[in-house]
């Protein structure tokens, strides 16, 4: 009997060791299979997406690229897909209301995963709260469709080029355009050679030190003038820097504006001339009369006209003036000859 009890206890120890080994193996496998931790170290979050894009339960959940949990379940929420995720409690301070969840992929054709952006702003999300979803992930079918459209457009482009459409197509098919382009390139090479040899203004500027020094001197002179202007020297400098001069110029401008306003209102002689229709008609009438008078004089009318146009009258008047000058001269020479005054008394 004692031997039988000893065998039972030995078997019990073997059973206990086997159970402990199985538990240790299970824990090791669990720890190696993911980063979510034990159930008491996890919390749940939910997120909604317009398309699952191949997402399945058990898919990894990553925060900032690090795997921290897995997808527990997927179910429909109206027209959207609701994903229930389990995350490690240590991620709670990094997953906040400012974080976003998107469906990503381990590779172009790989397993779908949920990527969550880490954030230190906002309020940390608690257990079973909703995580805002980001923009939908690009599916491989969308990429293939986009690539197909790109290939179709490239094929059409090459077809247009081969048929001679567009500038590139004409360049490939039009012999005249090719010759013109070749001539343009030759002309550009000739210009470059002339510039390198110092010909022309640009060539002299590049090759001739004297031209460079002259340009440098001009730039220095321009800098000097600019410095003087900034210092307020000269009339233009005073205009830029002197407030008194600027106020004087502003006052002069104001006076001109006042004068223009008075002229527009018809004040003063010039203003009335500009705005008074009756005064304008008078001036127009006087101008017409003066024009008629000048025309009449040019045609020889009147004394002034005959004097200007009649040569005989001009010569007679000229002769009379000459005789009058001669008479005055004789009187000055011998006044007694012409002034004989007799005085008699009874």
| pLDDT tens string 31-82 | 544 455 566 678 999 999 988 888 889 899 999 888 899 999 999 988 898 9
Q: Does 265 score more than 80 pLDDT? A: no
pLDDT at 99: 92
Predicted pLDDT of residue 8: 59
Question: Which of 69, 78, 74 lies closest to 52, judged by CA?
Answer: 74
**pLDDT above 70 (res 294):** yes
| pLDDT at 237 exceeding the cut of 70 | yes
Q: Give the number of other CB atoms < 10 A from CB of residue 101.
A: 24
Per residue in 97-122, pLDDT tens? 999 999 888 766 668 899 999 998 98
Question: Which whole number is the average pLDDT over 315-330?
Answer: 81
Q: Is 234 left (phi over 0), alpha (psi -120 to 50) or beta?
A: left
Backbone angles phi, psi at 133, to 5 degrees: -85, 145
What pTM was computed for the model?
0.36
CB atoms within 10 A of CB 72: 18
Give CA–CA dist 30/21, Å, rounded.
14
pLDDT of residue 86: 92
One-character DSSP codes across 12-57: HHHHHHHHHHHHHHHHHHHHHH-SS--GGGEEEEEEEES--TT--T
What is the distance between the alpha carbons of residues 275 and 281, in angstroms, rounded to a whole number?
11
Residue 1 has pLDDT above 50, yes or no: no
Q: What is the mean pLDDT of residues 251-262?
A: 82
Paired residues of 73 in beta bridges: 84
Cα atoms in the 13 Å half-sphere on the side-chain side of 168: 6
Quick one: pLDDT at residue 32?
A: 46
Q: Any idea which residue has 């931790």 for tokens? A: 37
The per-residue pLDDT for 275 is 74
| Per-residue confidence (pLDDT) for residue 140, from 0 to 100 | 58
d(CA 314, CA 332): 27
Question: Which of 42, 93, 96 lies closest to 70, judged by CA?
Answer: 42
Q: Which residue has the higher pLDDT, 94 or 307?
A: 94
**Residue 117 host element (H or E):** none
Give the alpha-carbon dihedral of 261, 265, 267, 269, to 10 degrees.
100
pLDDT tens sequence across 135-155: 665 555 666 678 888 888 888
Please list the residues that pair with 176 across neighbouring strands. none
Q: Examine the pLDDT at 287 and tell me if it is beyond 60.
A: yes
Q: Name the strand (E) or helix (H) holding 179.
A: helix 175-196
The mean pLDDT value for 309-313 works out to 73
Distance CA 166, CA 175 (A): 14
User: How large a percentage of the chain has pLDDT more than 70?
Assistant: 82
Q: pLDDT: is 246 or 95 the higher one?
A: 95
* The pLDDT of residue 243 is above 60: yes
- Comparing 35-44, 53-62, 189-198, 254-263, which segment has the lowest mean pLDDT? 35-44
Coil, helix or strand at residue 214 = helix
Q: Which residue has the higher pLDDT, 14 or 5?
A: 14
């Amino acid at each position: 009997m004692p031997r039988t009890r000893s065998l039972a206890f030995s078997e019990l120890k073997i059973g206990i060791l086997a159970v402990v080994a199985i538990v240790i193996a299970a824990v090791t496998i669990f720890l190696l299979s993911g980063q979510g931790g034990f159930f008491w170290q996890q919390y749940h979050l939910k997120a909604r997406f317009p398309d699952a894009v191949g997402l399945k339960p058990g898919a990894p959940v990553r925060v900032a690229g690090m795997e921290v949990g897995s997808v527990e379940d997927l179910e429909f929420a109206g027209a959207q897909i609701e994903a229930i995720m389990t995350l490690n409690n240590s991620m709670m301070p990094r997953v906040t209301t400012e974080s976003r969840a998107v469906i990503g992929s381990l590779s172009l054709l790989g397993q779908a995963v949920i990527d969550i952006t880490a954030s230190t702003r906002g309020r940390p999300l608690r257990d079973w709260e909703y995580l805002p979803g980001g923009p939908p992930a690009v599916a491989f079918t969308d990429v293939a469709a986009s690539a197909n459209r790109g290939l179709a457009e490239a094929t059409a482009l090459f077809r247009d080029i081969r048929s001679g459409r567009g500038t590139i197509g004409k360049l490939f098919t039009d012999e005249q355009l090719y010759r013109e382009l070749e001539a343009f390139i030759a002309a550009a090479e000739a210009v470059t050679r002339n510039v390198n040899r110092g010909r022309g203004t640009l060539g002299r500027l590049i090759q001739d030190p004297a031209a460079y020094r002259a340009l440098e001197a001009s730039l220095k002179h321009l800098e000097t003038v600019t410095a003087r202007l900034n210092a307020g020297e000269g009339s233009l400098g005073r205009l830029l820097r002197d407030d008194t001069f600027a106020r004087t110029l502003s006052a002069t401008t104001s006076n001109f504006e006042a004068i223009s306003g008075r002229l527009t209102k018809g004040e003063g002689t010039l203003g009335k001339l500009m705005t008074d229709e009756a005064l304008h008609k008078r001036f127009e009438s006087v101008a017409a009369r003066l024009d008629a008078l000048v025309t009449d004089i040019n045609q020889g009318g009147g004394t002034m006209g005959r004097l200007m146009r009649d040569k005989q009258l001009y010569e007679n008047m000229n002769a009379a003036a000459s005789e009058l000058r001669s008479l005055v001269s004789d009187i000055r020479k011998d006044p007694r000859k012409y002034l004989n005054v007799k005085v008699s008394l009874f």
